[in-house]
């Protein structure tokens, strides 16, 4: 079965010597290797300050705290995402307010965000779903108009671009996941890209119990709530090795995605995703809309190819559905949405097989 998602691990002869070096160095906790990873990740992104963490969920949690979201506040978000995006909102005691998606992309709509902003709105979470960049310009305009900070969940979108600049450069906070199946994995982990230096320094305190690691324990005075959210030297070592080949790896996703974009045009029963002007997806998944989705998935499976909608709509989770909303665009989009493989493990022959199968109908 050609899998929809797959973990990329460096070759044994590259990975293991450097892992052994750190494992037997006598220091496996957060240290100099973590610092090195953060600085290298900043270079890759091309802007902001990297706060490495033990998960993308921790990054979302800290971003919400730094954005000033408190108990009883509201955060506007999308129901088309993995659950951690919205579970994190509940972690700060806030409530989730749904905004509808853009029918052309599946991403949260700037117009829909504006319709649900109110006096309790303290942040907006946008998701570059499946590696497709959001409407950066439209959302920036809403953020500035209402003075509400934006948190970009780019867990699927490492290397995606707007106006030639990568995710991480466009909003105050950008969240990355380095969980097992993402473009870059540290086995598990995440990062928060923060544009403001002072907020970055505050984030470092929140990451580690409220303690300042530049001071001794006896010199410290905890003044804010902190957590045990740090990355360690072992995960950071894996991350450093992954960064050495990340451009080539992401390019494999992009090459496959662009090829599918070109070859799947004009097929009856298939509607391709439209991308916003001046955006470049990183194609963590290849997303399309099809008629009779269950039959499509069945046909692909019968020919050894995994296809799936992958994520459950978050508004179907009772815990997350604080304000049940009519989301007509999401209804239409979700009923036809499906993902097919396009990652680093997918060959041109695999792509051609999928294209032939789709062209033959289902």
Active site residues: 182
Distances from the Cα of 28 to the Cαs of 17, 18, 52, 206, 236, in angstroms?
A: 15, 12, 15, 21, 10
Read off φ and ψ for residue 212, nearest 5 degrees: -90, 110
Please identify which residue in the block is written with the tokens 């009856």.
268
Give the C-alpha separation, 53 to 198, whole Å.
18
Residue 139: half-sphere exposure toward Cβ, Cα within 13 Å: 28
Distance in angstroms (rounded) separating the CA atoms of residues 243 and 82:
24
Cα dihedral value 89, 281, 138, 278, nearest 10: 160
For residues 142, 147, 148, 150, the Cα torsion angle rounded to the nearest 10 degrees is 70
The first and second tokens of residue 144, run together, are 């500035």
Rounded Cα distance between 345 and 8, Å, is 9
3-state secondary structure of 198: helix
Residue 274: phi, psi to the nearest 5? -95, 140
Percentage helix, strand, coil for the chain under 3-state DSSP, each rounded to 5: 40, 15, 45
Q: Write out the two tokens for 169.
A: 């450069």
Q: Count of alpha carbons within 13 Å of 266, Cβ hemisphere only?
A: 2
The candidate with the shortest Cα–Cα distance to 77, out of 119, 109, 118, is: 109
Contacts of 270 (CB under 8 A, 6+ apart): 264, 288, 289, 290, 291, 358
């Amino acid at each position: 079965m050609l899998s929809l998602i797959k973990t990329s691990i460096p070759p044994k002869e590259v990975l293991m010597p450097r892992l052994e070096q750190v494992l037997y160095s006598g220091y496996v906790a957060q240290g100099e290797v973590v610092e090195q990873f953060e600085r290298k990740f900043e270079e890759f992104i091309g802007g902001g300050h990297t706060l490495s963490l033990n998960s993308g969920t921790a990054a979302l949690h800290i971003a919400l705290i730094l954005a000033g979201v408190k108990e009883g506040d509201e955060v506007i978000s999308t129901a088309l995402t993995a659950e951690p995006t919205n579970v994190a909102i509940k972690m700060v005691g806030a409530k989730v307010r749904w905004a509808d998606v853009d029918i052309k992309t599946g991403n949260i709509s700037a117009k829909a965000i504006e319709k649900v902003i109110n006096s309790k709105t303290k942040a907006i979470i946008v998701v570059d779903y499946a590696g497709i960049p959001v409407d950066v310009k439209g959302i920036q305009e809403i953020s500035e108009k209402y003075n509400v900070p934006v948190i970009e969940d780019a867990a699927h979108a490492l290397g995606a671009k707007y106006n030639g600049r990568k995710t991480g450069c466009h909003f105050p906070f950008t969240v990355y996941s380095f969980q097992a199946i993402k473009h870059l994995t540290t086995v598990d982990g995440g990062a928060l890209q923060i544009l403001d230096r002072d907020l970055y320094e505050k984030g470092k305190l929140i990451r580690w119990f409220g303690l300042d690691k530049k001071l001794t324990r006896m010199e410290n005075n905890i003044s804010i709530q902190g957590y045990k959210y740090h990355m360690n030297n072992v995960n950071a070592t894996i991350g450093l090795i992954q960064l050495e080949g990340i451009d080539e790896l992401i390019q494999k996703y992009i090459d496959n995605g662009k090829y599918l974009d070109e070859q799947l045009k004009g097929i009856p029963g298939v509607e391709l995703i439209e991308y916003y002007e001046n955006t470049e997806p990183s194609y963590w998944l290849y997303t399309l809309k099809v008629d009779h989705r269950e039959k499509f998935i069945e046909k692909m499976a019968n020919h050894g190819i995994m296809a799936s909608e992958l994520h459950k709509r978050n508004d179907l989770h009772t815990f997350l559905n604080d304000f049940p909303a009519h989301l007509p665009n999401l209804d239409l989009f979700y009923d036809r949405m499906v993902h097919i493989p396009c990652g680093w493990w997918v060959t041109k022959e695999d792509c051609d097989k999928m294209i032939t199968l789709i062209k033959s109908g289902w």
